[in-house]
Structure 1
Amino acid sequence: MASTALILGATGGFGCEMALALHNHGWQVRAMQRRPKAAARDLADLPFIDWVKGDAMSAADLRAAAEGVDLIVHAVNPPGYRNWAGTVLPMIDNTIAAAKAVGARILLPGTVYNFGPDAFPLVSETSPQNPKTRKGKIRVELERRLHAASKAGVPVLILRAGDFFGGRQGGNNWFAQGLVKPGKALRSITYPGAEHLGHAWAYLPDMAETAARLLERADELDRFAVFHFGGHCLGQGVEMVDAIRYAARNPDLKVKRLPWFALTLLSPFVETFREMREMRYLWQHPLRLDNSRLLAFLGHEPHTPLDVAVATALGRLGCLPSEAMKLQPLPA
């Protein structure tokens, strides 16, 4: 019988791509959502998902949804950075309890929020975790709880990556909400950092495929397994700018600076701006993820060329003119 995965956050960027990757690798896919009928309509091109109703903040809902599964993909996060303190840790506690009850593995898409500037520019799985932000401290505590759960018998896989972009539902990230404007033709690019500084990006279809390949060799994984996904670790931020210009077939697209000062002024009144401002340090230092451990284990990291990944992401966001789409067909 095929293994079964329960995905929390299947309507989000990583969760959606993970559903597709697991399906392609022969898994049965179940997803819990507060509005499952609406979710099924939104992801009608993924008809293989078995939608069940439930809320990740409810331990009872999650336990019922997890019955009979082999894997819980914990890809759920509050949108727009809102109310992390009140939701992130209760949700992971519910996932841990459900996984322990049914004997399932937990897969977590990790971030670089765990790390402060003292770990830069090259961050490995064993780099010191000294976060300077509230969200970073929450992520450290989240992983600490997963590590404790692994010692109690719950297998855990964490795949950490840089800033997400791309995918069918890739609209809740810096690429979609900072650099470009979804649904609008490109008139300019807003870049949050200095163009000469390196930055780590993770194309979500590649990241999900990597996680699926790791799960194919689950018997070889440590009880608490952590890998870093290299993705597109760009030597300079201008490489992402140039990739967007190339996809738009417009080498003269203007680059604007993110108005950090305005975000600072508005942060007392807009929670999302306040939380975005807290992550500014990630755009002030060069950052790469050391994926040597992943390469040693898998032998290869799935990698879509940057120009194809960016064009596909922009196409799905509705940012490319029809002539650019014709010049560079987007992958399915």
Structure 2
Amino acid sequence: MTSFFFINNSKLMFFTLMMFSIMITISSNSWISCWMGLELNTFSFLPFIFKKKNFLSSETSIKYFLIQSISSVNLLFIISLINWKMMNKNFFLPLLFLNVIICLLFKLGSAPFHFWMINLIESFDWLSMFIFFSIQKIPPIILISFYLNIKFLYLIIILNCLFGSLGGLNQLSIRKILSYSSIFNFSWMFSAIIISEMMFLFFMFIYSLISMNLFMFFNFINLTFLSQLHNIKNNKLFIILILINMLSLGGLPPFLGFIPEWLISIYFIQMKSYIILFIVIMSLINLYYYMQLFFPLIFLNKLQSKWNTNINFNLFFLSYISTTGLLFLNIFFFI
């Protein structure tokens, strides 16, 4: 079993380059420099997918590069059209900006352009999945916020709710279940970016923290399919920690994942927008297949009576943060 945080010198260099590309993308004042930042981000992520002497990872790297290249070529072509139309003051600019958003959604793997992501995610390791589900999402969504088409984003939010909640019901692979969960969380991310960029970054921070903890658990016990949950012979504390992180990722109160969803819901309720009602209803379906993961851990397993002390301290500490999320929020408000 490899460590979740194992990064050699070359990958550390590419990770630094990835952070640098994100700063270039979100701080640029032209679409061309934003495109350059996105391309640099794509190339810096490829070494995390590719592994030597592994044909499946090589094939995945090529597929990922081709998909990102197709969307990047389309994005560059539309950006060129936008610059030309601006010079001629053409009235088709809103349609061109809408196509920019579609290209960015394709790069993200958001519904209804998510099928390529579901096919490739099986060959990702847990560290690559964490980077892809958290850090890689920030630049395209920030670019989408530069030209907010609220009605179109409402449509994308509804599609992500439908595909993300219903798509994970019949899955047996844990990676695919978490992928559909990520698609559903696009609805919360786009809702957050409608409010403000700070709300989006706050949501991404909480989502990344919980996802990192959960992926560390799955990497620690080397899980791939739901059927493997029956073979776990760890202690009660370990199972409770997995349960806590699942419920926190699902946004169930009083866990940490509920806080950003609660703040987003308050805003949309004040704005009298009924789309938040649809998101909350579909999140119940999303929560169901989270709970489906730990049903075998609770009801179908013979638990040991003694606690095993080999649990990583980082896993325990991050799970404690997921448990006491509302406590931290109350302290923040009182301060």
With the shorter chain as reference, the TM-score category is 0.3 to 0.5
Task: Please identify which structure carries the higher strand content.
Answer: 1
Task: Please identify which structure carries the higher helix content.
Answer: 2
What is the TM-score normalised by the length of structure 2?
0.35
Higher relative contact order (CA 8 A, sep 6+): 1
